Amino acid sequence: MASFSVFVAVAITILGLLIQGSSHPQLSPDFYSDTCPDLLPIIQHQVQLAVAEERRMGASLLRLFFHDCFVNGCDASVLLDDTPTFIGEKNAVPNKNSIRGFEAIDAIKAAVEEACPGVVSCADILTITARDSVVELGGPYWDVKLGRRDARTASQAAANTSIPPPTGSLDQLITSFHAQGLSVQDMVALSGAHTIGLARCTNFRNRTYHEKNINGLFAREKQESCPRTAGHGDNNLAPLDLQTPTAFDNYYYKNLLVYKGLLHSDQQLFNGGSTDSIVHAYAENPDAFYSDFIAAMIKMGDNKPLTGTDGEIRMECRKVNY
């Protein structure tokens, strides 16, 4: 009888492992602890250097991770350069003249390669770098799961359609995140990334001149740096969080409560709809925002990773290995 219970227990454990192995990627925080023990301090130091040189870089590096993960999973596809025979994602609509931080990633990859050649994927570097960027700008720390591998392909078409546009309605934003296995709450929490970083006039012009759910003084102030006529001052920049643009905090949500969201999509989260209560909660309680943001970042990072022998460990993040 006792041996039968042991048998059942062992069988259940094995079954559990099999199910886990087949339905979940094998990502784990200690994936490189034997093969690259100093990986985390190496990357942290590089992120500190990059952010010390330019605080905005923390925002740019966080965004890179988002734009990578939303296009066929977190596989570093966003880092691949266009070549005469290869169309990458850098010139897709949401990325062109907008995403940045590639030189910083090159420097991080070079430092990692020097310590542990051919071991660490660019996809994992993006994951760690996003976390360290949040920490460097005063946000919360969390353990990231590792073991992703790098894609040998990219998809400009998927980048065009999978990354949500700033013109999106609440329903469209929800649908776009849902397509990545992310909930409404995940969507609102991840949007809190707009507590740091800058946007171009072309992405907030219409809101500041034509929308009604915007604070009047705020709108006029933004108009000063963003001429009404399309094509004029398109690349002029404004902070996504007017209060603390280089600090990772919950001011993004406080701004929404007073209709000072910069992008149309930002203000959609607090516009009399189903997400108003979540915005209220995060505006009042930074710890609630942080814990939901962390959970959602981990969930986004788990999205369809290449693992095992799929993909490759790229030698240079900008190009596939021959």
255 binds ligand NAG (CB under 6 A): no
Cα–Cα dist 196/238, whole Å: 11
CA 51: distance to chain centroid? Answer: 17
Task: Choose which of 40, 59, 112, 126 interacts with ligand HEM (CB under 6 A).
Answer: 59
Q: Please, what is the minimum distance in Å from the beta carbon of residue 6 to ligand NAG?
A: 57
CB 240 within 8 A of CB 194: yes
Q: Please, what is the minimum distance in Å from the beta carbon of residue 273 to ligand NAG?
A: 15
Residue with tokens 């009888």: 1
Task: Choose which of 191, 236, 255, 267 interacts with ligand HEM (CB under 6 A).
Answer: 191
DSSP sequence for 234-274: TT-EEESSSS-TTS-SSHHHHHHHTT--SSHHHHHTSSSST
How many other CB atoms are there within 10 angstroms of residue 109's CB atom? 25
CB 251 within 8 A of CB 241: yes
Q: Please, what is the minimum distance in Å from the beta carbon of residue 167 to ligand NAG?
A: 5
Nearer to ligand NAG, 28 or 83 (CB): 83
How many other CB atoms are there within 10 angstroms of residue 258's CB atom? 11
301 binds ligand HEM (CB under 6 A): no
Check 45, 67, 178, 232 and give the catalytic one. Answer: 67
Q: Please, what is the minimum distance in Å from the beta carbon of residue 211 to ligand NAG?
A: 4
Stretch that binds ligand NAG, among 66-74, 152-160, 176-184, 227-235 (CB under 6 A): 152-160
CB 68 within 8 A of CB 75: yes
Q: What is the dihedral of CA 112, 116, 120, 122, to 10 degrees?
A: 30
92 binds ligand NAG (CB under 6 A): yes
Cβ contacts of 211 within 8 Å, gap of 6 or more: 219, 264, 267
**Amino acid identity at 307:** T
Nearer to ligand HEM, 121 or 265 (CB): 265
Is 67 a known active-site residue?
yes
Output the residue with the shortest Cβ distance to ligand HEM: 197
100 binds ligand HEM (CB under 6 A): yes
Burial of 281 (0-12, 13-18, 19+ CB in 10 A): middle
Which residue, 265, 276, 311, 279, is CA-closest to 153? 311
Cα–Cα dist 288/122, whole Å: 31
Residues in 241-300 that interact with ligand HEM by CB under 6 A: 263, 265
160 binds ligand NAG (CB under 6 A): yes
For the record, the structure tokens of 199 come out as 């946007």
Nearer to ligand NAG, 210 or 232 (CB): 210
Instruction: Show the binding pattern over residues 8-47: x = contacts ligand HEM (CB under 6 A), - = does not.
Output: ----------------------------------------
CB 75 within 8 A of CB 123: yes
Residues in 61-80 that interact with ligand HEM by CB under 6 A: 62-63, 66
Q: Give the residue numbers marked as catalytic.
A: 67
Residue ranges binding ligand NAG (CB under 6 A) = 92-93, 156-157, 160, 167, 206, 210-211
Residue ranges binding ligand HEM (CB under 6 A) = 56, 59-60, 62-63, 66, 98, 100, 164-166, 168, 173, 190-191, 193-194, 196-200, 203, 263, 265
